[in-house]
Each structure stands twice: as C-alpha cells, then as structure tokens.
Amino acid sequence: SVAVEDQKFCLKEVLNTFKLCLSENKEVYLEHYVAGWRGLIKFLNSLGSVFGFISKDAVNKIQILVNHMNDENGSQYVTVQSMVKYELENELVDLTKRGSHPESGCRTLLRLHRALRWLELFLERLRTSKEDSKTSVMCAEAYNESLSQHHPWVVRKAAGMAFCMLPGRLSFFEVMNVGQPEQVVAMLGEALPLISEVYQITEDLYAQHNLLELP
Ligand code: 1PZ
C-alpha cells in the first residue's frame, strides 16, 4: 500500500541530499541541509524511542531554521553564507553571551554543524568496522571526539546511556535499508566525502567570522 511505501526509508537517499547542499561556488543551501537533517532524524526515530530526547532537540533546531527561511527575510536564508552575512550585518547574533537573539540562525545551525562532525566520525567508523565491532562503542568514540566537548555532564551521561541501546552492527545496517553489508560500506564511502565537504565549508566560514563558540 501507499502507506507502507511512504515508510520505506533508505539512508542512501538521505546522505545523497548532502550532494544537493553545495552550490556551484561551494555555498551551502539551507533548504537541502535541513532536508538532510530531517531524513537523519527519521532514521534516528526508527531506531527506537530512547533516542527521542535527541531527535526532539534536533527537530527543534530544524524548526527554528525553517521559521527563519519562511519569515519575511527568508530570502536572506538561502545559503549558510547569506545567513551569516545577513545576521552579522544586522546584529542578529548573540556573540558572547545569550541575550536578545537566543534563536539566531547562526547559533542554531552551529549545533547541527557540530552534530554533523559526530555523524562524519561515526559513519567513518561504521564504514571501516569489522564484523564484531560494536555500534555503541563506535558511536561513543565519535561522540567523545566531537560533540561531547560542547555538552554538559548531564547530557553526556544521557547520551552515553542512549548509545548502549543502539542495535548491533548488522541490524543497524539493515535499518539503513541499503542492502548487503558490502553495499552499505560502498554507500558510506560515497556519502562521506560529501558530508565532510559540507562540514568543512561551514567550519571554515564559521572560523573566518569567529562564530565557533556562539552561546
Ligand atoms: C545513532 C545514534 C544517535 C546518536 C546521536 C549522537 C548525538 C547525541 C546528542 C545528544 C544531545 C541531545 C540533547 C540536546 C542537547 C542540546 O543541549 C544541544 C545544544 O543545544 P543548545 O542547548 O545550546 O540549544 N544540542 C545539540 O548538540 C544538537 C544535537 C543534535 C543531534 C542530532 C543527532 C542526529 C542523529 C542522526 C542519526 C543518524
């Protein structure tokens, strides 16, 4: 039926949306960036309700960005580059401490951007994993190397507990719905450079404008 067809979910399509993210002159389209995250969240939700507190925060962040894209200044929110320029020129970003712009596009996207680094590290581990590798360990290592540095103790604790609930490597590959493990590995090999490039371009842009520590 149509309903079942709708639920069919393939991680390959999601990771491919990161291909659409980059414009010819290497700007990052917010529309596709957000679409990529939507797909990842759908995937996360399919892993179980223990990940609800994670997806809830991500959904929240995405909604903030979508609201910016849909409001009267939406034309300034076409790419990450135009968003940064617009918000900085119009003093719409809290630069050193939280103030009148707690939901700036810049600080909101930064949270997703940091999570994208986790994703990159995690997927790279998954790609090169052995049959007996544990997803929970790969996930925790990737987290400790990236996102955890920006999280308080309580969040790190909760995240660590959630990681233990991840399905094993083979079931995890199955949920990705890409095919045999070899096909998953091949797909990851294709998708990872795209994700890395989007990450690096955003990272350089934020570094250039001193935005990497936005409150
Ligand atoms: C497959 C297993 C999924 C593990 C995902 C690893 C990320 C763990 C993150 C746990 C944190 C969630 C609770 C929210 C924390 C927020 O405080 C922070 C900072 O935002 P602020 O408080 O400054 O507004 N939010 C984030 O760091 C964004 C986290 C987004 C995580 C998205 C994960 C999507 C996973 C896709 C899976 C394929």
Asked, for residue 215, whether it belongs to a domain, the answer is no
92 located within any domain: yes
Nearest residue by C-alpha to atom 17 in ligand 1: 151
As for ligand 1, residues whose beta carbon falls within 6 Å of it are: 40, 43-44, 51, 53-54, 57-58, 111, 115, 118, 139, 143, 147, 155, 159, 166
Report CA(1)–ligand 1 centroid distance (Å): 34
pLDDT of residue 1: 47
Domain span at residue 65? 2-108+116-208
Q: Which helix (H) or strand (E) holds 200?
A: helix 181-208
Is residue 176 a part of any domain in this protein?
yes
In a domain, residue 214? The reply is no
Residue 165 belongs to a domain with what CATH number? 1.10.3520.10
Is there a domain that residue 125 lies in? Answer: yes
pLDDT at residue number 8: 64
Q: How far apart are CA 118 and CA 33, in angstroms?
A: 16
Low-confidence ranges of the chain (pLDDT < 50): 1
Apex 135 CA angle, 157 and 194, nearest 5: 100
- Using alpha carbons, select from 56, 50, 31, 7 the residue that is nearest to residue 139: 50
Domain count of the fold of the chain: 1
Residue whose Cα lies nearest atom 14 of ligand 1: it is 57
Q: 4-59, pLDDT tens digit by residue?
A: 555 567 888 898 899 999 999 999 999 999 999 999 999 999 998 999 999 999 99
User: Distance between CA 191 and CA 93 in Å, rounded?
Assistant: 32
Quote the CA–CA distance of 153 and 46 in Å, as a whole number.
26
Q: What are phi and psi of 28, to 5 degrees?
A: -100, 115
Is there a domain that residue 39 lies in?
Answer: yes
Name residues whose C-beta falls within 8 Å of residue 150's C-beta, 6 or more positions apart in sequence: 111, 114
Is 142 a domain residue?
Answer: yes
Q: Report yes or no on 181 lying in a domain.
A: yes
